[in-house]
Amino acid sequence: MIKRPLEGIRVIGLEQYMAGPYCTMLLADAGAEVIKIERPKIGDPRRSMPPFIEKDGVKKAAGFLGYNRNKKSLALDVSTSEGQEIFKDLAKKADVVVENLRPGSMKKLGLSYEDLKADNPQLIWATISGFGQLDGYLGPYAKRPTFDIVAEAMSGIMNLVGFKDKPPSWTIYGMADVYSGLTTAYGIMQALFMRAQTGEGQFVDSAMFDNMLSLNEAMITSYASAGQIGERGILKNVFPRGAYKTRNGYIALNVPDNRIWTRLCEVMERPELADTPETRTGTERAANADTLQPIIEEWLANFDRDEVVDKLNSAGVPTGPVYNAEEVFSDKHVKARGMLMPIRDKDVGDTVFARTPIHLSKAPELPKNSAPNLGEDTEYVLKELLGYSSEKTEKLLSNSIVDKD
């Protein structure tokens, strides 16, 4: 009986930081066997990035633990000829390779998809880069390295985040990384589905710039259809929308259409505002925000946050409280959904991470294995998976081609 949908799928991850690890974390949560390849002695740079969890003299990076759960670790030096042969042997036995190294790195090593696909025609190779690597779609930025904030900036998102009188701002740390990991996993799923029909693998090209452009669809549509460039803190076609202060905290309020606006006016006991020349459409409400904003703020100031959230939702005006981390952890609905998933690490104990958000009725439970120590599974990969002898394995270890925990 299949417990998770990707059981039987083997993924090799030449990955670091966030985008690649988040992608393979999703695949591992779905049941795939994910073998993470890391540099001996050093590992993924995120192993050394705070915040840290410490217990009994052992210190581990919380971010690394979160995005690398349910994986195996192979410490392998792919810059050596011996390491490259090991990678080639692994690729022959893999269904999927995911890599997010600097553009051109794998080609320089002779380990690109073009180098290896002949030995495994069913191999699916996913590359996450800043600006895309697929032949026929290479732009002038293709060779640039990038981090998530660059993709946010160039996609127009940063220009829209914040307030008009302040500089552009980023959204949350790692937004482009996480979203690129998600879209890449989606692309891999498509490629696996196509392979089931054709028997052939393919190259999956995921660009962080493209991913954030697609996320910023509203800007694309507004400019293409109406020539609107957009201003920070100002929406020209929707009002009200934003964080609004109550007696003891903030709520998130969004009124996308006249139906919701009418309900808001009724619950505020201001029905006369529902249909006037100044409020008839979202565009007109936005143009008259200076007049309407104080009316909404004055009404909300009469209520506690949770009280007005219940009042508005009961009236059919979707809203919710603006939470901090402590409030998220104590929320009953979060607990009911199982979104805070405890995972026990053998060295530092229990830690809580965000669960992969999709629940499948036929496979609701996720595996809960902590992120591996560097090289924890090196001997398993070499001896059991690749069939190397103990003598060959020991020689590779002594020559520092591989390392083990």
pLDDT score for 365: 87
Residue 367 in this model has a pLDDT that exceeds 80: yes
- Residue 213 CA to residue 218 CA, distance in Å, equals 10
Spatial contact of 189 and 126, defined as CB atoms under 8 Å apart: no
Confidence of residue 1 (pLDDT cuts 50, 70, 90): low
341 and 323: one domain? no
- Last-in-domain residue among 303, 327, 351: 327
Helices assigned H by DSSP within 199-338: 208-215, 217-226, 258-267, 282-287, 289-300, 305-314, 325-330, 332-337
DSSP state of 372: P
Could you tell me if 189 and 162 lie in one domain? Answer: yes
Report how far apart, in Å, the C-alpha atoms of 124 and of each of 180, 184, 188 are: 17, 12, 7
The reply to whether 19 and 144 lie within a common domain is yes
Whether the CB-CB separation of 186 and 179 falls below 8 Å is answered with no
**Model pLDDT, residue 67:** 96
Q: How many CB atoms are located within 10 Å of the residue 118 CB?
A: 8
331 counts as catalytic: no
Token pair of 246, please?
């109550």
Residue 55 lies in a domain: yes
Do residues 94 and 188 share a domain? Answer: yes
H-only helix segments in 76-199 = 81-92, 105-108, 113-116, 148-154, 157-160, 175-198
On the question of pLDDT at 96 being above 90, the answer is: yes
Indicate if 212 and 252 belong to the same structural domain. no
> Residue 160: inside a domain, yes or no?
yes
Q: Is 26 part of a structural domain of the chain?
A: yes
Quick one: pLDDT band at residue 237, thresholds 50, 70, 90? confident
- CB hemisphere CA count around 114 (13 angstroms): 9
Same domain, 107 and 211: yes
pTM: 0.93
Contact in structure between 190 and 124 (CB atoms under 8 Å): no
Q: For residue 249, is it within any domain?
A: yes
Q: How many residues does the chain have?
A: 405
Do 193 and 282 belong to one domain? no
Phi-psi domain of 130 (left: phi exceeds 0; alpha: psi -120 through 50; beta: other): alpha
- Predicted local confidence at residue 235, as pLDDT: 83
Q: How many domains does the chain have?
A: 2
What average pLDDT does the structure give for the chain?
Answer: 95
Is the residue at 32 inside a domain? Answer: yes
Contact in structure between 209 and 215 (CB atoms under 8 Å): no
List, for residues 9-63, the tens digit of each pLDDT value: 999 999 999 999 999 999 999 999 999 999 999 999 999 999 999 999 999 999 9
Say yes or no: 188 and 295 in one domain: no
Residues 352 and 323 reside in one and the same domain: no
CATH number at residue 394: 3.40.50.10540
Q: Are 63 and 138 part of one and the same domain?
A: yes
Among 35, 37, 179, smallest CA distance to 95 is for 35
- Chain segment 344-359, per-residue pLDDT in tens: 999 999 999 999 999 9
Q: Specify the pLDDT at position 396.
A: 96
Quick: pLDDT tens for 154-212. Answer: 999 999 998 888 999 989 899 999 999 999 999 999 999 999 999 999 999 999 999 99
Whether residue 37 contacts residue 401, with contact meaning beta carbons closer than 8 Å, is answered with no
Alpha-carbon gap, residue 333 to 45, rounded angstroms: 35
pLDDT tens digits, 138-155: 999 999 999 999 999 999
Q: What is the CATH number of the domain that holds 248?
A: 3.30.1540.10
| Last residue within a domain, chosen from 327, 349, 378 | 327
> Is there a cis peptide before residue 321, judged by omega within 30 degrees of 0?
no
pLDDT at 297: 97
Packing angle, helices 175-198 and 19-29, rounded to 10:
50
Q: Is residue 375 part of a domain?
A: yes
- Per DSSP bridges, beta strands 124-129 and 58-61 are unpaired
| The one catalytic residue among 177, 210, 377, 403 | 177
> pLDDT, tens digit, for every residue of 270-306?
999 999 999 999 999 999 999 999 999 999 999 999 9
Same domain, 182 and 99: yes
Measured between alpha carbons, how far is 23 from 68 in angstroms, rounded to an integer? Answer: 10
Rounded Cα distance between 147 and 347, Å, is 31
Same domain, 311 and 344: no
Q: Are the C-beta atoms of 386 and 89 separated by less than 8 Å?
A: yes
Is the pLDDT assigned to residue 244 strictly greater than 90?
A: yes
pLDDT of 77 over the 60 cut:
yes
> Residue 232 falls within a domain, yes or no?
no
Residue 186 lies in a domain: yes
Could you say which of 327, 356, 380 is where a domain stops? Answer: 327
**What's the CA gap between 148 and 43, in Å, rounded?**
21
Q: Are 358 and 58 in contact (CB under 8 A)?
A: no
Distance, CA of 84 to CA of 386 (rounded, Å): 14
Q: Reduced to 3 states, what is the DSSP secondary structure of residue 340?
A: strand
Mean pLDDT computed over 373-383:
97
Q: How far apart are the first and last CA of the chain?
A: 33
Query: Looking up tokens 């083990």, which residue turns up?
Result: 404
Structural domain for 283, as ranges: 241-327
**pLDDT tens-digit series, residues 383-404:** 999 999 999 999 999 999 999 9
